[in-house]
Every structure is written in C-alpha cells, then in structure tokens.
C-alpha cells in the first residue's frame, strides 16, 4: 500500500479512568472511504475530536499528508486540508445558509484582518459558496437562516461547510444522524458522488450506508480496534458479529 493519507500511531486518550481511545493504529489510504463503526461509547466521536484537534491526545501520533499534526490546533489542521463535520449539527444558526458557507470559504482565503470592504457581495467568497450549496442540494435555501433549516437540511449544510474549506480529506461524524430513510438515501448518494474527489473517514450508525459506501471498515469497541477489513471481511468476522453486529440484530 502506498503511504496512507491519514495515519494514527498508538493513539491514546483517557478521561479519568475511562479509556476512550486505546492504542489505536489506523491507516486511511488516499481515495478510500474508511468507515469506523462500533457500539455507543466505543470512542468514535472521541476519535474524530482527536483527529480534528478539539481534544488533545494523551499519547501517540497523528500523521496527515506526510506531516505530524498531533499538536496542531483545529484551525491549523483545517488549513492542512483535514475537515470535519459534527454529529450534533454545528453551524452558525444566526447566519444565513449562504453566509455560513461563505465564512468557511473566507477561512481559507487569506487572513481576515480586512476591516473595510463589505463581505456581502464579495464574489471571491460568494461564488464558491453558491457552487458548494448547489452541489449538496441546498441551492434553493441559501437565504434562510441556518437555525431555521429542517434537520436534514442542516446535515447538508454541515457537509457544504466542510467542502467549502477545500479539504483533502473529510472526517464525517455520523452525517446521517437523525435523518429519515429518504434523506439518508440522498446523503449516501451525495457521499458516493464526493468519493471521487475526497478521502473520507466515515463514522456512522446506519449499517446499510456503511456497507454501501465503505472500502474498508474498522470496528471499535471500548476504544480498541477489534477488526479492520473490507466490508465482506467484517461481515464474516465472528468477533465483530458477537461484539457489535449480533447485538444490533437482536434489537
């Protein structure tokens, strides 16, 4: 395998006595969708927070695109090309949909020590923002306040903001969270389209979506990688069935 785009080496994080990420070594190759699944409390969101820099690692290393990013702040990681979405929708609720995305574009268009020119109508920001919104299917909702969007639309906006930063890789924390069947279907379609352009780490509870999209899957239980492989391998893995898939089938 070629050099992975993202790799963690013995990543470790504990909250008090609870180990959330236990010596995790993970490699995501460029161009693939790598899904991370696991029961609630397996440490999936913690992993995304460590990768995006919202949490500090206790030990271990994160390498992205050939450089260590373990100690970089979230903003710096974004500038390296690593973008994340949030499980619980995190947008600027009092900004319009278009302004949300324009701000993401602005964050990657040089510094913001520009005090004079009105940002509204700045084509350098708004043209790309409109393009991205059209791509995720929010083209008709650009002037709505983000806080007034329906839940599914807010999930789309999450993706739009991620894309607007011009990333190399997406960290998607449950992009289908709280979505209906039809909306999930559309999100799967969108992610499939994006696959040709971006490497993705996908955390998702929706198993249909995971098996439809992922090239490789890692199964986390108590912060530990108990299996990594292709969807077929994971499906066949008895340990996984016991720890996770079996349990969910019982429900």
Residue ranges that bind another protein, judged by CB under 8 A: 52-54, 73-76, 78-79, 83-84, 86, 90-95, 99, 102-104, 106-108, 112-120, 122, 161-162, 164-165
Q: Which helix (H) or strand (E) holds 216?
A: strand 216-221
Least distance to another protein, CB of residue 100, Å:
9
Nearest Cα to Cα of residue 188 among 202, 170, 198: 202
CB 23 within 8 A of CB 224: yes
Report d(CA 96, CA 83) in Å as an integer: 21
Least distance to another protein, CB of residue 120, Å:
7
Judged by CB, which is closer to another protein: 162, or 217? Answer: 162
Judged by CB, which is closer to another protein: 69, or 210? Answer: 69
Report d(CA 76, CA 53) in Å as an integer: 9
Judged by CB, which is closer to another protein: 122, or 215? Answer: 122
Judged by CB, which is closer to another protein: 203, or 217? Answer: 203
Judged by CB, which is closer to another protein: 139, or 147? Answer: 147
CB 50 within 8 A of CB 13: yes
Q: What residues contact 39, with CB distance under 8 A and at least 6 apart?
A: 221, 243, 244, 247, 248
Least distance to another protein, CB of residue 133, Å:
15
Least distance to another protein, CB of residue 31, Å:
23
Least distance to another protein, CB of residue 47, Å:
15
Interior angle at CA 158, CA 208 and CA 111, nearest 5: 145
């Amino acid at each position: 395998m070629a050099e992975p785009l993202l790799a963690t080496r013995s990543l470790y994080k504990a909250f008090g006595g609870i180990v959330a990420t236990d010596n995790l070594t993970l490699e995501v190759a460029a161009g693939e969708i790598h899904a991370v699944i696991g029961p609630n409390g397996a440490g999936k969101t913690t992993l995304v927070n460590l990768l995006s820099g919202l949490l500090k690692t206790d030990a271990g290393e994160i390498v992205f695109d050939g450089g260590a990013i373990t100690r970089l702040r979230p903003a710096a990681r974004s500038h390296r090309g690593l973008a994340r979405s949030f499980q619980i929708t995190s947008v600027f609720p009092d900004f319009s949909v278009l302004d949300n995305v324009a701000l993401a574009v602005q964050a990657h268009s040089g510094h913001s020590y520009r005090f004079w020119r009105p940002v509204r109508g700045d084509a350098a920001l708004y043209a790309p923002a409109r393009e991205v919104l059209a791509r995720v299917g929010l083209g008709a909702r650009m002037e709505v306040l983000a806080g007034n969007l329906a839940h599914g639309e807010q999930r789309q906006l999450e993706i739009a903001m991620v894309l607007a930063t011009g990333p190399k890789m997406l960290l998607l924390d449950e992009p289908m969270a709280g979505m209906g069947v039809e909306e999930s279907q559309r999100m799967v379609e969108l992610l499939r389209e994006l696959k040709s352009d971006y490497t993705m780490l996908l955390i998702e509870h929706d198993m249909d979506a995971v098996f439809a999209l992922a090239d490789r899957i890692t199964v986390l239980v108590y912060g530990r990688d108990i299996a990594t492989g292709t969807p077929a391998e994971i499906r066949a893995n008895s340990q996984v069935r016991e720890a996770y898939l079996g349990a969910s089938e019982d429900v």
